[in-house]
Structure 1
Amino acid sequence: MISVILLGAGNVASHLYKVFHNSDTITVTQWYNRHIDKISTFKNEVEITDDLSALKRADIYIIAVSDDAIATVSEALPFQDRFVVHTSGTASLYDIDAKHRRGVFYPLQTFTKGAEVDFSNIPLCIEGLKKSDFKLLKRLAEGIGSKDYKVSTEQRKRLHIAAVFANNFTNQMYRIAHEITEANQIEFEILKPLILETAKKIQTMSPYMAQTGPAVRGDKKTAKQHLNLIENPQHKAIYKLLTESINDTHGRKKL
């Protein structure tokens, strides 16, 4: 059984607690947060605390806080030579205080409180300085049914940028599409099968091969018509920028 202590109460920490709590091979020894009221609803399931000096011994201490707070929290831990990891996509392994054995346990997924996630579909990017610690992280990933990947700090930073493009920016495109449909009294629901099919296609082919639309066809007439219809200047600029990016990628002439 792998014993874990969670530090933090944000989206990632909350989802990790739930999946660890339901695992047959992992036990959450304690859950720490500086504002104990944020985790008080779990006091009948797990020992909670807002006192770092009260932390018990565990196999892994997982810091799931904002990137800016990782160094501060790790430095404040009242022990040394124990295995401490963070869950950040961009923070360095070395942001964890050097008095600890350091590692990274980064679940590459978007987390929202209240939204269910399936960890068997979430890749775990792991990093550890010691071979034994790295193996422990692999076991931790296996304990929640996740596939693990050995990813260095520099690779993880680039991966996080890619994730922002694939997730956050894509979602903003959905929001713009939603705004356009609403402004024209059209149900956004009509676009959902298209969104799902686009995501489905890249399971079996590269994004390059999956690209469709007026930009990849070099259809300047349609693209210019779209630009004329778009009223929001910011939306117009985004449309033009993305069209030019697709033009460049596929060797088409610009607008």
Structure 2
Amino acid sequence: MITVVLIGSGNVAQHLLLAFQKAKSLNLIQVLARHPKQIAHLLDEKKIISDYKELKEADLYVIAVSDNAIAEVSSQIPFTYKLVVHTSGSIPMIEIDSKNRKGVFYPLQTFSKSKEIDFSQIPIALEAETKNDLSLLEAVAQSISNQVYQINSEQRKALHVAAVFVCNFVNHLYEIGSEICKENNLSFDLLKPLILETADKILSLTPNEAQTGPAKREDTVTINAHLNFLNKDNQKEIYKLLTQSIIDNGKKL
């Protein structure tokens, strides 16, 4: 059985905690958290620590903290030549303190504490310095997910940037849509069937095949009407930028 120590108590850490606990081939022996109360309801309190001096030896240490804290956290692990990985999509593996073996365990998903997730469907991107460490990470990843991939640092960076476009930016567009509805006494629920159908189409069509709307048709009458309707400068600029990008993309094909 592979022994694991998890460091962190935020969104990613909490979902990993639950996934690790369910895996029959893993033994989550400790979770180190700055805010123990955030995870007290998720596991035996005897396994929760907040002092690095209390860390036990394990096969794997998973750092699931904010990107700017990874280097500092890794430097405080009081062991040498242990396998230490972070879960970031954008931070280089070399940010982990060099006294230990380095790796990356990147689950590609958006995490919220209040939303349950089926970890078996989450792609996990792995990186390690040696074949043996990569094999260990693969065993851990395969114990919680059916989608495990070995990628290099540049590919992971590209994947993370792409994820920002298809997740974070899209979610912000949902927020803008919600604001427009609210300002005009409409329920955002009216848009949810459209959102679901749009997401469903991408499972069987390419993004270009799935694209519809006035920009795709170069319907300048509708585009100008929309721009005249919008009363916030940032909404107008976003609409113009995305519209022009869709038009330009159509001309390239």
TM-score class, shorter-chain normalisation, is: over 0.9
Structure 2: segments with no counterpart, 5+ residues: none
Give aligned pairs, total.
Answer: 252
- Per the TM alignment, residue 37 of structure 1 is displaced from its structure 2 partner at its CA by 3.7
Are the aligned partners of 1:84 and 1:101 in contact in 2 as well (CA < 8 Å)?
yes
Match in the other structure for 2:247: 247
Segments of structure 1 that go 5 or more residues without pairing to the other structure are none
Structure 1 position 49, deviation (Å): 1.1
Q: Considering only aligned residues, what root-mean-square deviation do their CA atoms show, in Å?
A: 1.4
Report the TM-score when normalising by structure 1. 0.95
Say yes or no: does 1:199 pair with 2:199.
yes
1:15 aligns with 2:12: no
Matched, 1:69 2:77: no
Match of 2:58 in 1: 58
Q: Aligned letter for 1:55?
A: L
Letter in 2 for 1:224: N
Structure 2: distance between partners of 1:42 and 1:191 = 35
2:131 is aligned with 1:124: no
Assess if the C-alpha contact under 8 Å between 1:28 and 1:46 holds in 2.
no
Q: What is the alpha-carbon distance in structure 2 between the residues aligned to residue 37 and residue 44 of structure 1?
A: 12
Query: 1:13·1:64 contact (CA, 8 Å) conserved in 2?
Result: yes
2:228 aligned with 1:224, yes or no?
no
Work out the CA distance in 2 between the residues paired with 1:11 and 1:194. 28
Question: For residues 52 and 220 of structure 1, what CA distance do their matches in structure 2 show?
Answer: 61
Q: Deviations over 1:49-98 (max 9, x none)?
A: 11212211111000111111111111111110010000001111000011
Pairing 1:35-184 to 2, within 5 Å after superposition: 35-42=35-42, 44=44, 47-184=47-184
State the TM-score, normalizing by the size of structure 2. 0.95
Instruction: List, as ranges, runs of 4+ consecutive aligned residues in structure 1 with deviation greater than 4 Å.
Output: none
Distance 1:41 1:196, change over 3 A: closer
State the distance in 1 between where 2:235 and 2:193 align: 23
Task: Report deviation, 1:47.
Answer: 1.1
Deviation sequence 1:15-54 (CA, Å, 0-9, x none): 1001111111111011112343443445636511112122
Q: Within 2, Cα distance between the matches of 1:128 and 1:204?
A: 33
Q: Distance in 1 between matches of 2:191 and 2:66?
A: 34
1:144-189 residue CA offsets vs partner (Å, 9 max, x unmatched): 1331111111111111111011000000111111111111112211
For the 8 Å contact 1:31–1:46, the answer to whether it is kept is no
Matched residue of 2:251: which SS?
coil
Cα gap change, 1:231 to 1:54, in 2 (>3 Å): same
Does the Cα contact within 8 Å between 2:123 and 2:145 map onto a contact in 1?
no
SS of 1:98 mapped into structure 2: coil
Match of 2:211 in 1: 211
Distance, in Å, in 2 between the alignment partners of 1:166 and 1:43 is 33
CA distance in 2, matches of 1:55, 1:215: 56
Over the matched positions of the two proteins, sequence identity in percent amounts to: 49
Secondary structure of 1:90's aligned partner: coil
| 1-structure distance, mates of 2:168, 2:157 | 15
Distance 1:43 1:118, change over 3 A: closer
